[in-house]
Amino acid sequence: MTMLEIDGLDVWFGRDRDRVDAVKQARFSVAAGESFGLVGESGSGKSTILRAITGLAPTWSGRIAVGGQEIELKRAKAFYKKVQMVFQDPYASLHPRHSVDAVLGETLHLHGFRDIDTRVIKLLDDVGLGQKFRFRYPHQLSGGQRQRVAIARALAPEPELLLLDEPTSALDVSVQAEILNLLADLRQEHGLTYLMVSHDLSVVGHMCDRLAVMKDGEIVEIMDVAALRAMKATHPYSQHLLRASI
């Protein structure tokens, strides 16, 4: 089964002479249960694709389908039960005056769950925090702990597809591996599908089954992770990225 299908996706910002084409004719698909990476330098359009999927980049054309259902410009509420996103910066993605309990409880309430207390505790256990963090505020948490809360919030609606936008790049190196291993475990436990943006090829090599290389808004190559590890890219830009990562 195909979980995500992108076909002929164009994303742009501005109008007329001020228009900037951020993504041009992107095409790829992600199978259910697969982890797919988008790599490239800053400004290549990777994160813009995630934002187009979620509706945060509203000016786009082409086809985006999740679970075989084509997405309209206005997302239905059911879309956000199926698709959730984890952002790059755990410091900016949590409200400073909301406790962990409030963050998770509000998300569960919005998605129509009733047994909120039980679910909050389960979510905290799932991300390796536990009940002792339930009534803490973001300023009382480390960067890694904040990102675990952000992941728990994304898991709250019981999604099938998680969009991961550089989920460890804002964290200390010592914490990055813990979060990546947590994400790998959650994918197995919950049968999740991942679309992951990263500029770090070692992260993609650890987390993903396949990847697309982006340059100047275009996908120049799609390869499996075995080719990445064997340094067997075919496009000159992909080869340049691989050499630069050594």
Task: In whole angstroms, give the CA distance from residue 32 to residue 191.
Answer: 8
Predicted confidence band at 76 (pLDDT cuts at 50, 70, 90)? Answer: confident
H-state helical runs in 76-172: 79-82, 100-110, 116-126, 143-155
Closest CA to 183 of 212, 157, 204: 204
Q: Where are the domains of the chain?
A: 2-245
Q: Please check the confidence at residue 74 and state whether its pLDDT lies above 90.
A: no
Distance CA 235, CA 238 (A): 5
Distance CA 123, CA 136 (A): 15
Q: pTM value?
A: 0.95
Q: Would the pLDDT of 246 be above 90?
A: no
Q: Quick one: pLDDT band at residue 75, thresholds 50, 70, 90? A: confident
> How high is the pLDDT of residue 103?
96
| Nearest C-alpha neighbor of 49 from the set 74, 66, 26 | 26
Residues whose CB falls within 8 Å of the CB of residue 129, separated by 6 or more in sequence, listed in order: 100, 145, 148, 149, 152
- Distance of alpha carbon 226 from alpha carbon 232, whole angstroms: 9
Kindly report the CATH class assigned to 2-245.
alpha beta
Question: Does pLDDT of 129 surpass 90?
Answer: yes
Residue 84, pLDDT above cutoff 90? yes
